[in-house]
Structure 1
Amino acid sequence: MTATEPRSSARQEQGQLVEMAWDPITRIIGNLGIYTTIDFQNRQVATCHSTSSLFRGYSVFMKGKDPRDAGFITTRICGICGDNHTTCSHYAQQMAYGAKPPPLAEAIVNLGEAAEYMFDHTIFQDNMVFVDFCEQMVKETNPSVLQRAETTEAPNGHIHGYRTIAEIMRAFNPFEGEVYKQALQVSRVTREMFCLMEGRHVHPSTMYPGGVGTMPEPTTFTDYLSRLVGILDFVKKAVAMNDDVFDFFYEALPGYEEVGRRRVLLGCWGSWQNPDFCDYRYENMNEWGKAMHVTPGIIVDGRLVTNNLVDINLGMRILLGSSFYDDWVNEEPFVTHDPLGNPVDMRHPWNQTTVPVPQKRDFDGNYSWVMSPRWFDGTDHLALDTGGGPFARLWSTALSGLVKDNPYVTSTGSSVQISLPKSDQLPEMTLEWKIPHDKEGKPLSNALERDRARPYFVAYSAAMAFFFLERAMEHVRAGETKVFTDFEVPDEAVGCGFHEAVRGVLSHHMVIKDGKIANYHPYPPTPWNASPRDSYGTPGPYEDAVQDTPIFEENGPENFKGVDIMRTVRSFDPCLPCGVHMYLGEGNELKRMHSPMFGATND
């Protein structure tokens, strides 16, 4: 199996170090390259650089556009989480316009986003991440581990039906494994659920600022419900299988908790608005932010620093560091103070100007088109990561303890309890995701725990989907079927939207002047996770997690696949289109040519 072999095979001995690169990383979207030096004598990664070679420039060509078009344009930032961008753009627009969608519209949006989480997390975890843990891969990288897996009973076999850990690994084998094929079927069903609410996957056709165009008929929701019930067995089994496999790796490879480990620096911007509280007014953002069904928060060393969206917003800083851009701090700011009168920093997204400077990649200088977003706590510029999305979401929600009075999900202060009803094969179940700690009791953020959180959040999304369905049907039965609110675009305004894309934090910041977009900056999870070293020399999360990680693969330099490195990178659910944008360069012209031979038009 060659899925993790270096695409760039150049290796150079430097004393005991070997240079190895994976560019592009397989099984993701976009041009992500991971460049390392590895100390094979001590079985450890010595250095790591994360780079991307593609630039696109949405923040450049959004200027001058009609603000109402922002959602339709920014959805094309990504072909995977485009609906998350649409949703977040509409949140920002609704703040700028002073528009509050009807409650039924919010329920429809929440149902669509819940389906998207279930779709994307399932296909990524089971069809991409688990290739790194399947029988074929483990046989090639850690044959002794596979041998042990053959005789290790699966503790949750009574739930998922596999007797040994090796049987689960075989079910993960690509194209042939039972779980691999089941996940593809579940991804189809969840995509259908999404389309019932948002019209088209992945670029919604029925979502607008101020509401939705979805026809709220009872069958719209019962069709969604029937599909949701149909995937519940898979959702429950997936949690059990993931727990068995990851717990086994800790036992079979003592010290594996250090693979992909970094300081606990997590960010979550919150998800699923609560229409009982959310009016999209910036002045009330702290209150309605805390009422979200996933609680926003910043976690440092396992401690909740803040869950106030106003504080989160004001602390955002965009650093350049090792990226291919010129600075903008000497320009006139777009926004000097937020609507509450708080000063806004020049490096805040509201004030950013994108000035691309193409150049040769230099790991001692600039080497990536990804910028370096950081969160400033008043002293340090923190390189937050998203843990792949679910990890930060669950941790923030658990610590805040604000999700309660909900029959399906409860946050306890140290865990999140998820209740799922009876399904075809399995009884009603309550699952509990607990904040992870190592054997010494220290908070633990590593590759396995990021991956473990993903199926738990699929269960969380399924549980919340039941809740949103009940709310939607209540509105329909009461005749409250309005799904759109009229609004007017102001001549001048600012807006910010906070949401969770599948793989983590997503924000859209917009400035309107003369009725047009004067400045617009979307910041998805990719630049937070994939950023290069910043202006202070701090590595980005990919780099930090890979650097110093131990190597457990049994192969030497000649046959090395880098599976521990790939597990680390893929645990973040990497996706590069959101981090980089297209650029032609000064003086280059894009021409449309006519081919007389075929009558075709080529770009």
Structure 2
Amino acid sequence: MAQRITIDPITRIEGHLRIDVEVDGGKITKAWSSGQMFRGLETILQGRDPRDAWLFVQRICGVCTTVHALASVRTVENALGLEIPLNAQLIRNLVQSIHCLQDHIVHFYALSALDWVDVVSALDADPVKTAALADSLSTWPGNSVNRFTAVKDKVKALVASGQLGPFANAYWGHAAMALPPEANLMAVSHYLEALDYQRKATQALGIIGGKNPHVQNFSVGGVTTAINPDNDSTLNMHRLYQIKRLVEEVSGFIKNVYMVDVAAVGALYKDWLPYGAGVTNYLAAPDMFLDAKATMSDLPGGTIMDGDLKTVKPIVGLNDSYLKENVQESIARAWYNGDWSKHPWEEDTDPKYTDFQDEGRYTWLKAPRFQGKPMQVGPLAQMLVGYAQGHEMTVKSVDSLLALVSTVAGVTVGPEILHSTIGRHAARAVRAGMMADLALKHWDLLVDNIGKGDLEIFNPPVFPKGEQKGVGYHEAPRGILSHWIVIQDGKIKNYQCVVPSTWNAGPRDAEGQLGPYEASLMGNPIADPERPLEVLRTIHSFDPCIACAIHMLDPEGKEVIKVKAL
């Protein structure tokens, strides 16, 4: 007999997400993904000056801030046919790449590692053996006996106090936990180090962006980051070298710790490699543009259908009609008025709430579709699209990580294992390493361009009478983000955001096609329905970020987060 499990809310994410599954015979047979909060910024923007939109949309989320700012200025520029100076393009690239480093580190360690790492098990580890294990994987200087001994003592003190702090409320001792104690101790040590390195990335982002989390240096037409190598009040060489030093430190952590830990988890949990593929249609946008016109990029975009890398179709630049013309959103199963599937320029945002209906409407998230098909977006999509196109940096980086997984697992694995829960983690780690390299590359490009005497940062926008339509794409840490605008006589007539977690967390459509979260859960094992760790593993692998989060506080200290097993 099927058993219903409701997890509401899913924790260790940004936002409010509910997941329902039915379990029969120890496997998931049905799944529903429900975004539980309404995002109304599209309505708030109507009638406003398009130049102000980027400041508003950053507030969609407390995590995905710079990404909405970037997509927003691009959509207005696209509507106006406005080209920005090369310096502005490169400064924006630095902002997005540094934000990505911080975001990917936080996701793996703070948000998802505890699905695989048993912190309490680390108490049984031998620090000497842990150091030997770590040394066999990388040359990271933090992998010492003294360090691991200190971390073990810290965990022991936390457990003895009964106050596990950030490690509380996890499924310690769960039957699905498979890492040996030494691997757990190594991972806990790296978890604590990750807190420091994500801070370094945040510091670099604050220097280049003027503020964090909500950057202040974007503008329709370029950036407001004045450049003068000889002025202490502007972006000068001192500040640029501060940024470079911080990025180099973060890059060292990503390549010697983060990527290694992900490879180790993938190898030691090789039994999980068949699970979590779900939707194997992939969509990614080109980004990290190399020219002012945004026609050449360091990150490739494209689509792949049915998991077949031979079907790859490139997307080039911000004006590619293949991307512009084939996006629609369905509200057949969402809490909005109507039953349509429309292109974002034609959509409205008219809420109409009902209760949770298994066979009806059950979420605030719309269902994005590309040529009528659900698409998985995120680092996995971008890595597969790049790999299929023979993109040199992607191929080299993916093959390197797969080789490391093969060495630790003792069995050769190829790119086919990336269609999985663990594959999403592997792709995100690879992307983090690539973004670290690209941040330094674009730092060099910016410094070289300044050295040529080019200090231009802004082209003023002009808003003509009549109607203009634009779209701004950005390959954000969670996948392709697009903002769609209709401008009428210099004012916003319509504005729609199609965000990565809408692509992935969206519901069924009118044809009954499952969204990627839902499809990825089908067939996954559930060892203990009272503690559905396996659901969290797969959902966290997407790095959910459900816009417009709410935080509930019980002033009496009563438990407000429950898992219902029905």
TM range (shorter): 0.7 to 0.9
What is the rounded CA distance, in whole Å, between the counterparts of 2:523 and 2:120 in structure 1?
Answer: 23
Match of 1:572 in 2: 542
From 107, 119, 122, the equivalent of 2:105 is 122
From 293, 313, 318, the equivalent of 1:306 is 313
What is the rounded CA distance, in whole Å, between the counterparts of 1:77 and 1:263 in structure 2?
Answer: 26
**1:559-583 Cα shifts (integer Å, max 9, x gaps):** x3211111000000001116x89xx
Q: 1:66 to 1:276 in 2, by over 3 A?
A: closer
Q: 1:242 to 1:486 in 2, by over 3 A?
A: same
Q: 1:441 to 1:511 in 2, by over 3 A?
A: closer
Q: 1:478 to 1:99 in 2, by over 3 A?
A: same
Opposite residue 169 of structure 1, the aligned amino acid is N
Opposite residue 230 of structure 1, the aligned amino acid is E
**1:476-528 Cα shifts (integer Å, max 9, x gaps):** 21111111112212222111111112111100111111211111111110111
Match of 2:4 in 1: 19
Match of 1:455 in 2: 429
Percent of aligned pairs with the same residue? 25
Is the deviation greater in 186-195 or in 96-105?
96-105
SS state at 1:509 partner: strand
Q: 1:417 to 1:124 in 2, by over 3 A?
A: closer
Q: 1:107 to 1:139 in 2, by over 3 A?
A: same
Given that 1:268 and 1:505 are in contact with CA atoms closer than 8 Å, whether structure 2 keeps it comes out as yes
TM-score normalised by L of structure 1: 0.76
Match of 1:179 in 2: 190
What is the rounded CA distance, in whole Å, between the counterparts of 2:415 and 2:433 in structure 1?
Answer: 26
Opposite residue 46 of structure 1, the aligned amino acid is T
Match of 1:272 in 2: 288
Structure 1 gaps of 5+ residues are 1-14, 279-287, 330-345, 405-409, 419-429, 582-603
What is the rounded CA distance, in whole Å, between the counterparts of 1:440 and 1:96 in structure 2?
Answer: 42
Q: 1:81 to 1:166 in 2, by over 3 A?
A: same
What is the rounded CA distance, in whole Å, between the counterparts of 2:34 and 2:499 in structure 1?
Answer: 17
Opposite residue 56 of structure 1, the aligned amino acid is R
Match of 2:200 in 1: 189
Residues 40-51 of structure 1 mapped to structure 2, 5 A cutoff: 42-51=25-34
From 141, 157, 172, the equivalent of 2:137 is 157
Given that 2:397 and 2:430 are in contact with CA atoms closer than 8 Å, whether structure 1 keeps it comes out as no
SS state at 2:58 partner: helix
Q: Kindly state the Cα deviation for residue 314 of structure 1 after the two structures are TM-superposed.
A: 0.9
Q: Kindly state the Cα deviation for residue 128 of structure 1 after the two structures are TM-superposed.
A: 1.5
Q: Kindly state the Cα deviation for residue 152 of structure 1 after the two structures are TM-superposed.
A: 11
Q: Kindly state the Cα deviation for residue 550 of structure 1 after the two structures are TM-superposed.
A: 2.3
Opposite residue 481 of structure 1, the aligned amino acid is L
SS state at 2:287 partner: coil
Q: 1:223 to 1:360 in 2, by over 3 A?
A: same
Given that 1:504 and 1:525 are in contact with CA atoms closer than 8 Å, whether structure 2 keeps it comes out as yes
> What is the RMSD computed on CA atoms of the aligned residues?
2.9
What is the rounded CA distance, in whole Å, between the counterparts of 1:382 and 1:35 in structure 2?
Answer: 23
Given that 1:497 and 1:508 are in contact with CA atoms closer than 8 Å, whether structure 2 keeps it comes out as yes
Q: Kindly state the Cα deviation for residue 108 of structure 1 after the two structures are TM-superposed.
A: 0.8
Opposite residue 239 of structure 1, the aligned amino acid is M
Q: Kindly state the Cα deviation for residue 151 of structure 1 after the two structures are TM-superposed.
A: 13
Residues 544-559 of structure 1 mapped to structure 2, 5 A cutoff: 544-551=519-526, 553=527, 556-557=528-529
From 245, 249, 258, the equivalent of 2:269 is 249
Match of 2:301 in 1: 296
From 214, 218, 238, the equivalent of 1:203 is 214
Using CA pairs below 8 Å that are at least 6 residues apart, which structure has the higher relative contact order?
Answer: 2
What is the rounded CA distance, in whole Å, between the counterparts of 1:433 and 1:462 in structure 2?
Answer: 19
**1:71-103 Cα shifts (integer Å, max 9, x gaps):** 111111111011100001111111122221111
Match of 2:155 in 1: none
Residues 47-62 of structure 1 mapped to structure 2, 5 A cutoff: 47-62=30-45
Given that 1:109 and 1:197 are in contact with CA atoms closer than 8 Å, whether structure 2 keeps it comes out as no
Match of 1:76 in 2: 59
Match of 1:236 in 2: 255
Q: 1:305 to 1:453 in 2, by over 3 A?
A: closer
Given that 1:264 and 1:443 are in contact with CA atoms closer than 8 Å, whether structure 2 keeps it comes out as no
Is the deviation greater in 267-276 or in 450-459?
267-276
Match of 1:66 in 2: 49
SS state at 1:395 partner: helix
Given that 1:265 and 1:383 are in contact with CA atoms closer than 8 Å, whether structure 2 keeps it comes out as yes
Q: Kindly state the Cα deviation for residue 463 of structure 1 after the two structures are TM-superposed.
A: 0.2
SS state at 1:135 partner: coil
Match of 2:78 in 1: 95
Given that 1:66 and 1:515 are in contact with CA atoms closer than 8 Å, whether structure 2 keeps it comes out as yes
Match of 2:230 in 1: none
Q: 1:489 to 1:314 in 2, by over 3 A?
A: same
SS state at 2:470 partner: strand
What is the rounded CA distance, in whole Å, between the counterparts of 2:308 and 2:181 in structure 1?
Answer: 34
Given that 2:130 and 2:185 are in contact with CA atoms closer than 8 Å, whether structure 1 keeps it comes out as no
